[in-house]
Structure 1
């Protein structure tokens, strides 16, 4: 993934999510008959602007695509014509103002629900939760988990995919609570294992939880033969194609897909000489793996997947697909789970129970945008849904300057029966700005640290 492709994927993601969020505010304002003066995607000088509608609302694409806003008619920001005063935002009752502000984050959650529901209906092949042999000394090994066992449930809740297993254990690790895994081996024998996560290090939540626990996905031995090549990725740019067999990397023999992956991962951003067998011919191609984030490390990736024989695919994969109503229910549950998990993570960061290194800034998010776009439209949509939920949660935090800060003021107004004083709001703005600057400083520091140590 080139820098340009990463930037484009990041800007498109930001643009989509900003439009979704601000359109929530815009639509709610229109429903409450509040006049909207401007709908801006981005900050700063307008690059493109046009007017439309009976209110001649100005639609703007601005120079700095790191946010957006909906500007409404408001007597506190300038003189308002008497005949339009009733349409000013500040003239609306507190419940209408509450709904207009709440609609932005709500649309972020709604967007995620629709994306997940669409993916559930479309149906995707996912890895079964079949375990490889756990490394000695890990929690998984101590619990007696064995290679070839399939995880059927966690604490009584059914598990059908590897991703579900990872998500459930990530939640348990954050709570530092023990979990019961019910497994079935290849002979059909049931077993129950308990993983005690009470001593799980807080800082490790940010890394691959399953790897730390000792749970690894079972992968049958595969030949080093390419099954898929990502369009625009390093493998395609180097001239690799599906069906190619990789015989050597920098002169070292490659006898399995696993050894090929290990060779690529260990050399991010470094040119590799591949000896490629294609039909009856042998050639040498140079490929430069992309450098991608993997926890606190940078690893190499060339954008290729192995050829998986049909017999292996049946054992390794399960197709997850649901009807419309069930998809909607699962999408709602998944969105709520991720939102609540994000809130718990933030709470534990504030309490010092989880490392602030989990906080990501725009550089890391851009990196993930590029990686997900390279992996295909499904991964990119999943990334958009996840970031949309995070944006919704962030905006609901009771910090002045954010939507949640305004909602906090309106909640106080509802309880007390009168608006919060201008002086209190001004003080809150200063505190809110300070908090946001601290969070941004942590995020940028983490980004810089990942770049320098990666």
Structure 2
């Protein structure tokens, strides 16, 4: 229950911040343009809380349904406006001002992302180094010849500092190269990865991107390619045994070296972990070496849930700690101006990428199962919050970008749809008819409901399938 409440709180903070920032964008620009704001509401429906402030007696409210918000402005189309206040109505403003007010919400979300990235880049964030792990057999990474411990230096000539950089560059390369054949690119199906091997020599690996595209980019892109983070090849020797654990109950001791599990020879600690995790509540026969004597010990891993799956654990750690934290991580930090430049670049790249992925969903190149609803977003919010404030802020920035771009799409009922109406007004030199707007609203609402239905279906499907 406490875990559920934590995830719910993490989601509520993300949702609240994004809605407030979005609506404040509309509010501030409306005020700058001289438009009177009647209500600023977080959520829809009947207000459960409200107060009035300012010379205009603006109502600040919280609605019963908090999935969204709105800014209600003085407008002749909604209610009669007194003659002395007509100049402050939204509908009588020049089209340029109206477009600025409408666009301010999504742009505020994009600005929030810039500010978050700016703060993170300037203060410094600790990231995993781009160290590759041993790939699964017959995977694209294995075919490329990737070896455990190789450090990524560049992807298609672009420098990489962190594991997240590597993941982002790999995904971008795959999406950008999907049209490579038409663009005359010689080898659109592969990406070139420059790595530093164990002998500190530079080696080039050609990674086949086909599996990623065939799956419609559904799921973890690196996992689809068989790309793993580095796992040190530790000796299979037990360290601390947790009191009251299945390991202690079975008689396992610190210092025991695992030779085999159910008759299968064990070479590394990762092999032991894999065997235990894959056998929840099932007896395993461990062959261990203790003081030069070989012992056969049976242990039953305790089963527990992990992200929808059930895995086993016996309550024992590895004796060798492996590489230090400094060897596995790097701190990325820039001066104030470079950090701002990087923040703008990061926001621009992720915004462009979002648009490209949306376009590929429409053409069928990207699976619609990539759409996420509130349940998945809440899950990711909770996961990122548990990982630390840096990860949580990055998640907030990413969702803020997605919200900003989504609202700029030319779909009626979204801000982008209203911008489209205003563009038509400029072209035809007159406002669009009420009938045209009404039909547009109905179509836009239908599209939005369809999108929400897909998102909820994907959420439910992920819950069921794990």
Task: Specify if TM > 0.5.
Answer: yes
Q: Cα distance 1:249–1:259, how it changes in 2: closer, same or farther (>3 A)?
A: farther
* Matches of 1:25 and 1:16, distance apart in 2: 15
Check conservation: 1:149, 1:186, Cα contact below 8 A.
yes
1:373-388 counterparts in 2 under 5 A? 373-388=385-400
Aligned counterpart, 1:163: 164
Q: CA RMSD in A?
A: 3.3
Aligned counterpart, 2:137: 136
Q: Structure 2 regions of 5+ residues with no counterpart? A: 179-187, 259-267, 282-300
1:308-323 counterparts in 2 under 5 A? 312-323=324-335
Q: Cα distance 1:401–1:267, how it changes in 2: closer, same or farther (>3 A)?
A: farther
Q: CA deviation at 1:308?
A: 9.6
Q: Which of 314, 318, 342 is equivalent to 1:330?
A: 342
Aligned counterpart, 1:107: 108
Q: Cα distance 1:204–1:350, how it changes in 2: closer, same or farther (>3 A)?
A: closer
Aligned counterpart, 2:60: 59
Q: Deviations over 1:155-177 (max 9, x none)?
A: 11100111111111112233434
1:31-42 counterparts in 2 under 5 A? 31-42=32-43
Q: Which of 307, 315, 319 is equivalent to 1:292?
A: 307
Larger Rg: 2
Partner secondary structure for residue 447 of structure 1: helix
The number of residues matched between the two structures is 420
* Matches of 1:221 and 1:247, distance apart in 2: 25
Higher mean C-alpha deviation, range 159-168 or range 253-262: 253-262
Q: CA deviation at 1:424?
A: 1.2
Higher mean C-alpha deviation, range 147-156 or range 169-178: 169-178
Q: CA deviation at 1:406?
A: 0.3
Q: Cα distance 1:376–1:300, how it changes in 2: closer, same or farther (>3 A)?
A: farther
Q: Cα distance 1:36–1:192, how it changes in 2: closer, same or farther (>3 A)?
A: same
Q: Cα distance 1:263–1:145, how it changes in 2: closer, same or farther (>3 A)?
A: closer
Q: Are 1:410 and 2:422 an aligned pair?
A: yes
Q: Are 1:179 and 2:191 an aligned pair?
A: yes
* Matches of 1:171 and 1:301, distance apart in 2: 36
Aligned counterpart, 1:79: 80
Q: CA deviation at 1:373?
A: 2.0
Partner secondary structure for residue 218 of structure 1: coil
Check conservation: 1:202, 1:355, Cα contact below 8 A.
no
Aligned counterpart, 1:278: none
Q: CA deviation at 1:100?
A: 0.3
1:330-349 counterparts in 2 under 5 A? 330-349=342-361
Q: CA deviation at 1:134?
A: 2.1
Q: Deviations over 1:314-360 (max 9, x none)?
A: 32211111111111111111111111111111111111111110011
Aligned counterpart, 1:371: 383
Partner secondary structure for residue 331 of structure 2: strand
Q: Which of 209, 215, 221 is equivalent to 1:209?
A: 221
Aligned counterpart, 2:401: 389
* Matches of 1:395 and 1:372, distance apart in 2: 24
Q: Cα distance 1:11–1:401, how it changes in 2: closer, same or farther (>3 A)?
A: same
Partner secondary structure for residue 152 of structure 1: strand
Q: Cα distance 1:195–1:311, how it changes in 2: closer, same or farther (>3 A)?
A: closer
Q: Structure 1 regions of 5+ residues with no counterpart? A: 227-239, 271-285
Q: Deviations over 1:182-211 (max 9, x none)?
A: 112132211222223246334351211112
Aligned counterpart, 1:279: none
* Matches of 1:383 and 1:110, distance apart in 2: 15
Q: CA deviation at 1:10?
A: 1.5
Aligned counterpart, 1:236: none
Q: Cα distance 1:64–1:183, how it changes in 2: closer, same or farther (>3 A)?
A: same
* Matches of 1:359 and 1:326, distance apart in 2: 33
Partner secondary structure for residue 77 of structure 2: helix
Higher mean C-alpha deviation, range 27-36 or range 338-347: 338-347
Q: Cα distance 1:263–1:396, how it changes in 2: closer, same or farther (>3 A)?
A: farther
TM-score by structure 2 length? 0.82
